[in-house]
Structure 1
Amino acid sequence: MYFELKDTTADILANCRRREELCDLPLDLIASEREAYEIQATAQDTLGFERKGYAIVGTSEASRHMFGLNGPIYSEIPAFALQRKAENFRLPPGTIGAQCELVFTMLRSFPDEGEQITPESVADAVMSCRPAIGIVGRRTRQAFAGANAAIADFGLHVATLCGDHVGNIEVGDLAEIDVTAFLFQQTVLSGNSSSIMGNPLNAVAWLAAALAANGRQLEPSDVVATGSCTTILQVCAGQHLAADFGPLGQVECIFN
């Protein structure tokens, strides 16, 4: 894809996200992962909002299968797309569904120079963890499979709806948290945090390594949404979704 086309593609994606519209971009023509992340970065710059952290998609086998991914992908979270205690959320066109995920907030920069990236060093670098509902979707009318199209389209991220912070959680406890999702108080699916790369901290480690490979790092107060520990749940206007994360508490939202 030529440079001019990459800029035009990024501009269209940014406008579609801002206006909550769909477009007919041929994202399947993106030739490489690097090109896809370049388009995503340019689109984020075009949006012009402060960045609050990162959202990861594809950290579980079920989500990778659904989106046609071979591994995880990530995107930055614009300030408007990170919501706390969102009692209501309007689903935009192109919404694919909701994922039950964990959101970490970083205590410090990570990794420090020369620091190894391990679950233990990640645990030392995070400040808190909270439950969340992640909304995933596309800005294109056509559903393209594969990583490059998904990466360019803001990593399929729409919004991250967070519950309350939980501190003093033991690292070992994060790996085996049972999660149950309810629609209208009826159980619709369940999962376990171990489906997120064996331990949600591994998702943060993966992201830190991906950023470090490009000369970047996680910064203090950055949030990291880990990707789904359940299958992706299709949702629609008028539904009430609640997710119970056991020791991490609950998060809920009414969609409209």
Structure 2
Amino acid sequence: MYFQLNDATADMLAKSRRRGDLCDLPLNLITSEEEAYYIQSTAQDALGFERKGYALVGTSEASRRTLGLDKPIYSEIPAFALLAGVQQFRLPAGAIGAQCEFVFTMLRPFPDEGEPITLESAAASILGCRPAIGIIGRRSRHIYSGDHAAIADFGLHVATICGEYYAAADDLTDIDLTAFLFKRTVVSGNSSSVMGNPLSALVWLAKELRATGKRLEANDVVATGSCTTILQVLPGQHLAADFGPLGQVECVFS
């Protein structure tokens, strides 16, 4: 994509996200990951909302296959898209589906200067964990495969719907999860599908941010990406996800 078009592309993406509709953009012309994240960041600025943390997509092999991604991607979460205790959520145009995921809340900035980024240091930086349903979708009416288009399009993030807060977050390596539509089991999964351990997703993100001169801040949330396949959800459906010891999260879509 011609560099001078990046800002205009970002502005169109922001308008489409704000209105909940689709636009015509040649996102397949984005030539690099750097350019894609620049467009995403500029679009976030155009939205004008406070950022609440980060959402990851493609942290499991099954989700990458469904979405046509080669590796995990991330985006910032605007304040209006981080929800808790909601009973109903309106699916916008371009919605792809739902992912059952973990959401960490940061206790402190991470990493501190010179701090190694490891599973142990990540666990020590977390205040707690919650079960969540992540809604993913596109703002472009054209479906482009590959990482660059997905990154630019807000990392495919639409909303993060969180369940009740759970304090412990130190042993998430083998938590079974079951998702239900209208109380009928549709898919099962395990926390190990997320990079072997959901904390590994936080470690990966912290390293990606450090490479760009950023870090996680206190009270930031980190949505880890799906530990099941991506679930297609439609208006009128009720989705519930049971995370065993972490509790449940549910939502009706309209």
Does the alignment reach a TM-score above 0.5? yes
Instruction: Note the 1:166-177 alignment, pairs <5 A.
Output: 166-169=166-169, 171-172=170-171, 174-177=172-175
Partner of 1:249: 247
Partner of 1:122: 122
Partner of 1:180: 178
- Structure 2 unmatched ranges of 5 or more: none
Question: Does 1:133 find its partner at 2:133?
Answer: yes
SS at match of 2:120: helix
Instruction: Note the 1:1-256 alignment, pairs <5 A.
Output: 1-169=1-169, 171-172=170-171, 174-256=172-254
Q: CA deviation at 1:24?
A: 1.1
Aligned mates of 1:9, 1:160 — CA distance in 2:
24
Cα RMSD after superposing both structures: 0.6
Q: CA deviation at 1:142?
A: 1.1
Tell me the amino acid that sits aligned with residue 216 of structure 1: K
Tell me the amino acid that sits aligned with residue 11 of structure 2: D
- Deviating more after overlay: 149-158 vs 2-11: 2-11
Aligned mates of 1:89, 1:48 — CA distance in 2:
22
Q: CA deviation at 1:2?
A: 2.8
Q: CA deviation at 1:95?
A: 0.2
TM-score (norm 1): 0.98
* 1:201-256 Cα distance to aligned partner (Å, 9 max, x none): 00000000000000000000000000000000000000000000000000000000
Tell me the amino acid that sits aligned with residue 138 of structure 1: R
Aligned mates of 2:78, 2:18 — CA distance in 1:
11
Aligned identity (percent) is: 70
Aligned mates of 2:241, 2:55 — CA distance in 1:
18
- Structure 1 unmatched ranges of 5 or more: none
User: Does structure 1 conserve the Cα–Cα contact (< 8 Å) formed by 2:176 and 2:243?
Assistant: yes
SS at match of 1:175: coil
* 1:80-122 Cα distance to aligned partner (Å, 9 max, x none): 0000011100000000000000000000000001100000000
SS at match of 1:35: helix
SS at match of 1:194: helix
Aligned mates of 2:68, 2:114 — CA distance in 1:
35
Aligned mates of 1:10, 1:176 — CA distance in 2:
39
SS at match of 2:111: coil
* 1:11-63 Cα distance to aligned partner (Å, 9 max, x none): 00000000111011010000000000000000000000000000000100001
TM-score (norm 2): 0.99
Tell me the amino acid that sits aligned with residue 229 of structure 1: C
